[in-house]
Amino acid sequence: MGARGPRSVRITGWGRYVPERILTNADLEKLVDTSDEWIVSRTGIRERRMAAPHETTATLAAIAGKRAIAVAGLEPDDIDLILVGTLTPDYWMPATAVLVKEAIGNTRAVAFDVMAACSGFVYAYATADAFIRSGVYRNVLVIGAELLTRFLDFSDRNTCILFGDGAGAIVVSASDEEGGGLRGMELTTDPDGAYMIWLPSGGSKSPPSHETISRGEHFVRMEGRETYRFATRTLATSALKAIERAGWKLEDVDLLIPHQANVRIIESVSKGLGLPMSKMFVNVDRYGNTSAASVGIALAEAVDSGRVKIGDKIVFVAFGAGFTSGAAAVEWTADPVNGHRADSVVPEASVRAPLDWDSVDPIPERLRALLASREGPQVPLDDVVPGEPEPVHRGAPA
Ligand code: ACO
């Protein structure tokens, strides 16, 4: 444990990973009564990513995390603390961060999850900053990772069109240089929204049973309009508070990276704040709402696409189930060129499975049927056993 806090706490690495498979609005038209036109006009979403059967939240998180560590110029064992923001963990226990620790090859970090729904990444970043600022740790890996396609009811058009899978990560480090990094922060929790976005069963209030499953209580539920109202109001007020705490004026902000839930929400925040859309980062059209992963993916994409330079004043702002919200005003200090270091990281991660444990196919039934009709039968990678090819002709030689 360190005794004294550093001069500043800075973001030194960033990384993202999204699964290869794309689920388009046209695909969803085959599952529910919706249309590309409705989804694009109401949400701005055109497509989202869907994890392959062998992928889990921990594998997505590990790839994004390894990339962020490479960009920071560190080794996995330099990381003292691993925080994973997620509402779709691999298991209820252990924490997904524990699995990520092993998958990235770290032997010494403390690892735990942060559960604040879509605000999870910003909450985890705030936690990392506090641990470093107080002198406890020097390098913290913060990851937002979600595999939402396994928690959606693909017969409910209100929810299944909105969400997608992916992971975004940063490395937050102690610095002996003055200034830069997190300058102002605002986190809020409003229990009035507790049942506006929720997943009813699986917890102690309603343990999983045949009955809860037959009622579809293991899927995400949402009151869209109430959530929309909360989002537009709170994203703006939280961002303003963080900007004020940083001692900045709104016009000082170079880029606002909002949670990517709906382009209309982002447009309304832009209008409410009087910040032009050219200063709002948007990628919801390609990934949908990836919940806790969204701000991390957006940040990494913004830096790698040249939208962020040293000295820029950027603001992350998220809202989510709870209701929760989180905003962080950050002075950017890392050289965006370092992003290329992530190119050497192979997009694969292996999370150790328990011995003698026979998992069921994780893909929801309706999605499995859709993919089979679109792409032909899928062979889960887990089932492919390397070995000698089967002889073509058994029995008597020709
Ligand atoms: N396709 C076609 N029609 C649809 C669909 C669909 N996919 N979904 C809903 N509709 C229908 C509704 O049934 C309704 O029909 P009705 O008028 O006959 O009842 C009509 O479209 C309008 O529905 P609204 O709910 O009023 O549509 P709205 O314009 O509010 O858009 C939306 C819905 C996109 C869900 C919006 O409310 C929204 O984005 N809310 C915020 C959601 C959000 O951000 N959630 C993430 C929270 S973060 C977290 O922590 C997980």
* Pocket of ligand 1, beta carbon within 6 A: 34, 38-39, 42-43, 117-118, 157-158, 161, 197, 222, 224-225, 227-228, 231, 261-262, 289, 291, 320-321
- Atom 7 of ligand 1: nearest residue by CA position: 157
H or E segment to which residue 21 belongs: strand 21-24
Shortest-distance atom of ligand 1 to CA 160: 7
Distance 157 CA to ligand 1 centre (A): 8
The helices-and-strands tally (H runs, E runs) of the chain is 12, 13
Q: How far is the CA of 329 from the centre of ligand 1 (A)?
A: 30
Element holding 375 (H helix, E strand): helix 365-375
The string over 366-390, giving b where at least 16 C-beta atoms fall within 10 Å of a residue's C-beta and e elsewhere, is: bbbebbeeeeeeeeeeeeeeeeeee
Catalytic annotation, pick one of 25, 118, 160, 283: 118
**Radius of gyration, alpha carbons of the chain:** 21
Q: Which residues pair with 9 in a beta bridge?
A: 174
How close is the Cα of 225 to the center of ligand 1, in Å? Answer: 7
Q: Which of 190, 196, 227, 263 to mutate to test the pocket of ligand 1 (most atoms within 8 A of CB)?
A: 227
| Domains, in order of start, for the chain | 8-345+360-375 (3.40.47.10)
Q: Establish whether 118 is a catalytic residue.
A: yes
List the catalytic residue out of 106, 259, 262, 283.
259
Give the closest residue (by CA) to ligand 1 atom 13: 158
Does a cis peptide bond (omega within 30 degrees of 0) precede residue 389?
no
pTM strictly above 0.95:
no
Report yes or no: 100 and 62 within 8 Å, Cβ to Cβ.
Answer: yes
Per residue of the chain (398 residues), give pLDDT as tens: 445 789 999 999 999 999 999 999 999 999 999 999 999 999 999 999 999 999 999 999 999 999 999 999 999 999 999 999 999 999 999 999 999 999 999 999 999 999 999 999 999 999 999 999 999 999 999 999 999 999 999 999 999 999 999 999 999 999 999 999 999 999 999 999 999 999 999 999 999 999 999 999 999 999 999 999 999 999 999 999 999 999 999 999 999 999 999 999 999 999 999 999 999 999 999 999 999 999 999 999 999 999 999 999 999 999 999 999 999 999 999 999 999 999 999 999 999 988 788 788 899 889 999 888 887 655 555 554 455 444 444 444 43
CA of 81 to the centre of ligand 1 (A): 38
289 catalytically annotated: yes
160 is an active site residue: no
How much distance in Å is there from the Cα of 159 to the middle of ligand 1?
8
